[in-house]
Amino acid sequence: MVRPIIEIMDISLSKDEIKIEPASPAGDLIDVSPKSLRSQIKTLISDFISRPKPIKPTDAEIMNVFLALRVPEFAAVNKRIVDLDLEIRGTSPKNKTRLTRQLESAKARRLALIANAASSGDFLIFRSEKKAAFNETFIRYNEEAVTIGELKPFLGMTHLPAIQTRSLSAEIILAHLKEVKGSAAEKGDMILREGEEIHKRKQFFPRAALKNGISEYLLREGLNGVVRVPYSPFENFGVEAIALGAFERRGRVYFKLQGGKPVAQSHWNEIDRFLPFACRSISVPFLPVISNSPSGFSFKTVFGEATWDAISEEIMEKHAGSCVICGSDEKVSITPRWSYKEPVIGSSAPGVQELDSFLPFCANCMDTLRPSLDSLLVKSSDGLVLSTTREREGWLRTINRWNEPKEKAYVSDAYVMAIEMFRRRSRVNWIVDISKQTTVYLGLEDGFYVDDDDWVWPTVGSPFKIVGAPYFEGQNQSRIYIKPPKIHCVGWDSTVENVIEKLEASNLSVADKRGAGFVVDRAIDPIAPFSPDLEKQISAVTDSTFEEIEVNVEERPSSSTLSISENPNDSPPFIPDNSVQRELGSGMDDEYDDDDDDESAFRNAKPDYN
């Protein structure tokens, strides 16, 4: 017999290559009639439904597996305990004392083995591997659930098409059906604009920092020759960072620095997801967002301080009390990150404000990235003008690495942009989707009134509608839950006129229970007139055309390091695509907390443009 030659092939497992999995690689095209297509869809759905959902192993279960596999003595001690127990039952009182002592010492030994295992590095790695493996299965299961979920409505179609295909997998069938259906909105979809492509403006374009290292100023300020990982050593990201060469000191995780770059067992760009944003090899600009949000919604005022404290505590623990932007632990507090889908130009429908995640910011980062409107505007004789502090400007430059003199103007551009966004969004009513907040009981504070169409009215200001999570209201604690609307996104420049053909099948708004739509009138534009100067500054930023950016080759990782395009999941993309990233991050409610919403925030390094 000839021994098989095992070849080690250097295959790059890019996402596309994994995805293409033809059922019959060399197979012929199969003609599928509408009738057999329908029965195939039914089979796929019932197969999926009959399969159990993967169950998250508890720490105790993982510990049991670990002890069984890695600590041979554990089984022996267990057996001894069982044996002694039996022996004690059938023995004389004299022997009993001796045997009981032995039993107690065996039990103590068992506890010691568990305690040793629990604090061992081996177990932490083992646990993190098990959790990662579960998460992978769970993600695959969820992806399948999404596909099956999308496939289901097609059963309701009276006329299914006949298709030609090489595979009858759910994905392939869905792709065929979607192609037939085209990209038209479905009836009842809310038509909204996808986010503005701010990152294409040259000042806000992501830049590589590999050449220059981490900002000297940032190092002097907070880090002292090390980078602090914004995770605790007790959860996945912290443990993984340690496995990559980070070290632990007093409950926190750090990477050492050399020449402005973190020292790890991988290249800098491969450990980006463990680092605070401002210390990553690729800097994705963080732009200020006015706080509170223009909808008038805030967790603290709407659901009360105790609720906000509970959410804060949970997030702080997850991030080991460190700022996700700069790694500092000075006066860290939590801020929500929202994404906004705005109404089509010319429509009076409300927009949808979606919770992405909660992020811990230190006092500097909070002041710089979440300024209040009042702190950015001062009155002058001819209207409001931009005014900001030197500290704030300096810090925005530092965390965004706008170090060149010509980049100084980016700071005021960023604040002008934030003001204009806030003004634009203040003229719209908002549906606030808080589906991502899943852990805390929500009760409406006194002073808010819910009308018959479920708009929540504050004492002063505009109403908003809360969707995606149940909340309780009033003295008799009635429960309110409104499903988030289904959204069909159109381009940023879309106007009522040019989406008119899509409107035939859908609404610019979604009918609520009284059929009145989501439309309510927003009585006042809450912002006083801007000065001609400020208006001019706003036009200069908002009217600037998008540019084709030439990336400086020098700034990119060398060919010896991983190329950015090869690893779309782990590296911040050069052209971030918010819609795709949002889909990746959704539907993972049951996943491990430490890999939850913030993981997608970290993995994708989505710029904070909202």
By CB under 5 A, name the binding residues for Zn ion.
Answer: 323, 325-326, 328, 362, 365
- Smallest gap from residue 253 Cβ to Zn ion (A): 16
Given the complex with Zn ion, which of 23 and 363 has the nearer CB atom? 363
Given the complex with Zn ion, which of 14 and 389 has the nearer CB atom? 389
Given the complex with Zn ion, which of 254 and 464 has the nearer CB atom? 254
Burial 113-128 (b: 16+ CB within 10 A, else e): bbeebeeeeebbebbb
- Smallest gap from residue 361 Cβ to Zn ion (A): 6
d(CA 610, CA 600): 16
Query: What is the per-residue DSSP string for 88-155?
Result: HHTS-HHHHHHHHHHHHHHHHHHHHHHHHHHHSHHHHHHHHHHHHHHHHHHHHHHHHHHHHHHHGGGG
Are 278 and 215 within 8 A, CB to CB?
yes
- Smallest gap from residue 212 Cβ to Zn ion (A): 20
Strands (E), 263-382: 282-283, 333-343, 351-361, 377-380
d(CA 439, CA 608): 24
For residue 292, cis peptide bond before it (omega within 30 degrees of 0) = yes
How do strand 456-457 and strand 471-473 relate by DSSP bridges?
Answer: unpaired
407: left (phi over 0), alpha (psi -120 to 50) or beta: alpha
Q: How many Å is the maximal CA-CA distance in the chain?
A: 101
Given the complex with Zn ion, which of 44 and 369 has the nearer CB atom? 369
Are 445 and 304 within 8 A, CB to CB?
yes
- Smallest gap from residue 338 Cβ to Zn ion (A): 19
- Smallest gap from residue 325 Cβ to Zn ion (A): 4
How do strand 351-361 and strand 430-433 relate by DSSP bridges?
Answer: parallel
- Smallest gap from residue 312 Cβ to Zn ion (A): 16
d(CA 40, CA 48): 12
Given the complex with Zn ion, which of 318 and 582 has the nearer CB atom? 318
Residue in 194, 161, 135, 145 with CA at minimum distance from that of residue 38: 161
Given the complex with Zn ion, which of 67 and 323 has the nearer CB atom? 323
Given the complex with Zn ion, which of 284 and 323 has the nearer CB atom? 323
Token code pair at residue 578: 């918010």
Residue in 66, 82, 77, 86 with CA at minimum distance from that of residue 110: 77
Given the complex with Zn ion, which of 326 and 377 has the nearer CB atom? 326
How do strand 471-473 and strand 478-480 relate by DSSP bridges?
Answer: antiparallel
- Smallest gap from residue 275 Cβ to Zn ion (A): 13
Cα–chain center distance at 189: 24
Cα–chain center distance at 408: 30
d(CA 480, CA 23): 46
Side-chain-side CA neighbours of 292 within 13 Å: the count stands at 9
d(CA 312, CA 334): 6
- Smallest gap from residue 247 Cβ to Zn ion (A): 21
- Smallest gap from residue 230 Cβ to Zn ion (A): 9
Helices (H) and strands (E) in the chain, counts: 18, 20
Given the complex with Zn ion, which of 365 and 467 has the nearer CB atom? 365
Query: What is the per-residue DSSP string for 479-531?
Result: EE--PPPPEEEE-TT-BTGGGHHHHTTSBSS---TTS--S--------SPPBP
Residue in 521, 467, 546 with CA at minimum distance from that of residue 199: 546
Token code pair at residue 557: 């990782």
- Smallest gap from residue 365 Cβ to Zn ion (A): 3
Given the complex with Zn ion, which of 148 and 323 has the nearer CB atom? 323
Given the complex with Zn ion, which of 276 and 585 has the nearer CB atom? 276
- Smallest gap from residue 276 Cβ to Zn ion (A): 7
Given the complex with Zn ion, which of 365 and 416 has the nearer CB atom? 365
* Helix residue ranges per DSSP H, 339-489: 363-369, 390-400, 409-426
Given the complex with Zn ion, which of 323 and 417 has the nearer CB atom? 323
- Smallest gap from residue 149 Cβ to Zn ion (A): 39
- Smallest gap from residue 254 Cβ to Zn ion (A): 16
Given the complex with Zn ion, which of 230 and 294 has the nearer CB atom? 230
d(CA 97, CA 99): 6
Given the complex with Zn ion, which of 278 and 538 has the nearer CB atom? 278
- Smallest gap from residue 321 Cβ to Zn ion (A): 12
- Smallest gap from residue 376 Cβ to Zn ion (A): 19
d(CA 454, CA 262): 51
Cα–chain center distance at 72: 41
